[in-house]
Chains A and B, each alone.
Chain A
C-alpha cells in the first residue's frame, strides 16, 4: 500500500461531517494498551529483564540491603538525569552536570569547614554557584547561538580542571561532625534501610513529571525542542524556555551533589566523573530523543534504575568492575534500537487507524 493511501486513512478526511469519534472503542482495550502506548514501555521491560537475570544469578540481589544500595545509586544518577532529560526534550544537551555535581558540595563544604559559615548559608552558596553555571550555559548557548553540546563540554572541562587545580584533588571532610541540616539531605531513614536522597528524588521526580506532561510550560519545553521556529511563531518564548532549562539542569546537579555530601559527610573534588554521560544514557534508555521534542522523566527514572541495578548486580554475580561500563554501552545501543522500532510500529499502526 502506498504511503499516500495509508495517509488517506489516518482518520482525517475532508468532506465528512463532524461526529463523535470512535475513541471510546479503542479505550476498551484498557490498561495494557495504555502501558504499551507509553514511551517508557520498552525500558520498563528492559528493567524487569535486568532484575530477573540478576536475581536468578545471585541470592543477594532481591534483599533489603541491595535495595538500599540500588535506590541510593538510582537517586544519584536519577536526579541529575531529570534535568538532563528536561533539557534534551527542549532540544539541548548539558554535559556540565558532572562538574557541577562536584563543585556545589565542595564550595559548601569549604565555606563551612574553613570559613565557618553556617551550614545553611554554605549550602545556599554552593547551590547558587550551580545556578550561576546554568545561567552561563544558557546565555552562551541561546544568546550567542552556539551548540549546547560544545558549550557545556567546554564548561565541563573548565570547571573540572579548576576544581582539581584549586583543591589539588583533596576532599573536604566533615569528619563525623555532621550538622542536622546535612542529615536531612542525605542521612539514613528507617534504621538505615533507606537514605534521604531517595525521598528527595521521588519528590523532584513527581514535580518534574507533572510540569513536563501536564502544564503549559511543559508543552513549551516539548515544542521548543520539536520545532523552535514554529514555536516562536506561536508566541512561545523559546529562548527563555531553554535558559530556564539550563538553570534547572545545573540546579539539580548541584542539589544531587549536596545530597550526596549529606550522605557521605565529605565532598571529593574528583567525584562525578562521567556522570554527565550516565545521565544521558539514563535519558536515552528511557526513551528520550536526541533530537528534542520527546522524552519523559519517568523514562529516565527507569533508565537510571537499570544502570544502578547493573552497577550493583554485576558486583554481586562476581563480574569484574569494568564489565559495568561494557554493560552500560550495550544497554544504550539496544535501547535506542528497540525504542526506534517501537516508534515506527506505533506510527504505522496510527497510520492504519489501529490506535
Chain B
C-alpha cells in the first residue's frame, strides 16, 4: 500500500493519509487512506460500525484524528472546528437535517446567507427569489414557486435542494450521508441527477451509503470499510454489486493484497 493517491487521473481535492482514530479501546479508523478529486464521486460503503461516520466526521472537522492527517486541496490540514472545515468549502448534508420544514424554499436556500445589509435591515427577497429559482433551475429542478413551504416537497426534492444550495454557495467538497435512504426509485433519480450536476461543476462528492446498486454505477471509486480499515478500493465497474456485497458481508475474504480480488 502506498501513501500516494490511488491511481486516478485527477488531483486529489480531499484525502486521508494513514488516519487512525480510537474511541477508548475501540479502534474506529485504522491507517485509512482515501482520496476524492474534483468532479469525482467517491463511494464509502461498509456495515454499521465500519468507521464510515467517523471518517466523514474527521473530514468535516467534527472529530480529530489520533494520527495521520487530512489533505485538502493539496495541503495537509488540521481542522480546529466544523465551522473552519465548512468555511474552507466542505459541506455535509444529512438527509433529515438539511432543511427547515416550515420555512419556504427561498428562505431555506438562503438560511444563514440572506441577502441583506445587516441582521436587521430588510432582506432583498426579490433578488433572493430570482437567484434561488435560477440556481434550482440549473440543477434541472423546476419549481412552481420558491415561496412554497419545504414540507410540501418530497424527500428527493429536499435532498436535491440541499445539494444545489451547497454548490451555489461555493462548496468544493460535498459529503452526503445516505442521500437516498428511504426514497422511492423516482425520488432517488432526482437526487442522483443533482449529484451528477454537482460533479459536472467540478465538485468532489463523497457518498456514504448502504445501497450498493447505485453507488457502483455513480462512483468513480468505492472504498469498502470494515472494522476501521479500507479493505478494498473498487474502481467503477470493476466488480459486480453482488461481489461487493460478498466482501462487505465478509463472505469473500480480502487480504492485504487488493489485486487478488480485482483478478
Contacts and interface: CB of A to CB of B under 8 A. Distances in A.
Contacts, number: 144
A214 B122 CA distance: 5
A272 to B, nearest CB: 30
B140 A15 contact: yes
B78 interface: no
A116 B194 CA distance: 70
B168 to A, nearest CB: 13
Given A231-B111, A350-B152, A217 B120 contact: yes
Interface string A7-39: 110111111111101110010000000000000
A124 interface: no
B6 interface: no
Interface in B110-128: 110-114, 116, 118-123, 125
B148 A214 contact: no
B152 A10 contact: yes
Given A12-B153, A223-B100, A216 B186 contact: no
Contacts of B100: 222-223, 226-227, 230-231, 293
Contact of B143 (A12, A211, A220, A351): A12
Contacts of A219: 103, 107, 110-111, 114, 123
Given A4-B186, A18-B134, A347-B152, A12 B157 contact: yes
A164 B212 CA distance: 68
A233 B162 CA distance: 12
A216 B116 contact: yes
A239 to B, nearest CB: 14
B103 A233 contact: no
B99 A217 contact: no
Contact of B123 (A17, A215, A229, A231): A215
A234 B112 contact: yes
A229 B100 CA distance: 9
Contacts of B148: 10-11, 350, 355
B5 to A, nearest CB: 29
B166 to A, nearest CB: 10
A288 to B, nearest CB: 11
Contacts of A220: 111-112
Given A215-B121, A217-B120, A355-B148, A229 B97 contact: yes
A236 interface: yes
Interface string A223-259: 1011101110111100000000000000000000000
A266 interface: no
B141 A227 contact: no
B76 interface: no
A225 B102 CA distance: 9
* Contact count band on B: 35 or more
A294 B134 CA distance: 27
Given A11-B148, A214-B123, A222 B140 contact: no
A353 interface: yes
Contacts of B108: 223
Nearest to B141: A12
A74 interface: no
Interface centre among B111, B114, B118, B119 (most CB of A within 10 A): B111
Contact of A222 (B107, B121, B141, B153): B107
Contacts of B113: 234-235
Contacts of A355: 144-145, 148
B262 interface: no
Contacts of A234: 111-113
Interface string B48-86: 000000000000000000000000000000000001001
Contacts of B141: 12-14
B102 A351 contact: no
A96 interface: no
12 contacts: A11-B143, A12-B144, A16-B142, A17-B142, A18-B138, A21-B143, A21-B145, A214-B123, A215-B121, A234-B113, A293-B103, A350-B152
Interface of B: 83, 86, 92, 94, 97-103, 107-108, 110-114, 116, 118-123, 125, 133-134, 136-138, 140-145, 148-149, 151-154, 157, 160, 184, 186, 189-190, 193
Given A11-B145, A231-B111, 18 more contacts: A13-B142, A14-B140, A15-B140, A23-B144, A215-B120, A215-B121, A215-B123, A219-B103, A222-B103, A223-B108, A226-B101, A226-B103, A227-B99, A227-B100, A233-B94, A235-B113, A347-B151, A351-B152
Interface of A: 4, 7-8, 10-19, 21-23, 26, 210-211, 214-217, 219-220, 222-223, 225-227, 229-231, 233-236, 289, 292-294, 347, 350-351, 353, 355
Interchain residue pairs A-B with the least CB separation, the first 3:
A18-B137, A11-B144, A293-B102
